[in-house]
Structure formats: structure tokens, C-alpha cells
Amino acid sequence: MRRGTVRRCLTVPIFALTLLSMAKVFIPTARLENGSEMQKLSLGLYNVPRDQVKAVVDAGLAAGLRSFDSASFYDNEVEVGEALRSWMASGHDRSELFVTTKVWTTDLGDPESAARSAETWGP
């Protein structure tokens, strides 16, 4: 991939988890400049109620998803982190995961906003 090239990732709607939980699916990947392989499909966690986050993340992980999309605005980053840490405690490695977050307009210009999100969900 050339420097500056943007590859689009697809965010999975929650209703698609029913299909995903039925079997592992092939998910195409893109090689990053550091040599890592990142899935081109990401599970979006917007509007997932806190009490349902673990079930949604677990279903995505069971289907083979390793890329998750969150944001502090979603108000469920703590639960996302708990679900991912639980998965890792069962013998999986953090290096298998990609977690993305977004900076809300109120945090523009604050270089620590992404770091706060990473601390909230980050293993």
C-alpha cells in the first residue's frame, strides 16, 4: 500500500451478527506498512446498549472478527474493553485485535482524547 493511500473498512450492522454467529466467515485483510494484517471488516458498536456489548463483541469474535470500531460518544467503551479483556484472558493475544475510536467535535485539538479512549477500553 502506498503511503497516504486510504483503504475503506466496512462496519457491520448489529443485525448482521445473527448471520456472523452461525459460522466463521472469511474476512479479507489489508497489509499495513508495519507488516500487520488488518481485517477490512470492522464491527461497529454505535448504539449497542452497555448491557449488550459483551454479547455483541463475543459474537463478532466467535465469527472471526478481530477489528472493532468504537468512540467515547458511544458511551460503551468501558464495556468494550471488558469484553476484549475477557476474550484475551481465555488465551488470545492482544496483537490479534484492532480497535479504532473517533474523536468527537468537543475534543478536537485535544491530543489526549484518543489516549483517554485507549485507556478506557484498552488492554
- For the four alpha carbons of 44, 42, 53 and 109, in that order, the dihedral sign comes to negative
- Measured CA to CA in angstroms, residue 80 lies from 12, 30, 85, 107 at distances of 16, 24, 9, 21
Per-residue pLDDT, 2: 47
Q: Write a three-state SS string for 37-67.
A: EEECEEEECCCCCHHHHHHHHHHHHHCCCCE
Grid cell listed for 41: 471488516
Average pLDDT, consecutive stretches of 10 residues, N- to C-terminus, the chain (123 residues) = 48 56 77 94 90 91 91 89 95 92 82 79 64
Domains defined for the chain, CATH in brackets:
10-121 (3.20.20.100)
Q: How far apart are CA 69 and CA 17, in angstroms?
A: 15
Q: Which residues are catalytic?
A: 74
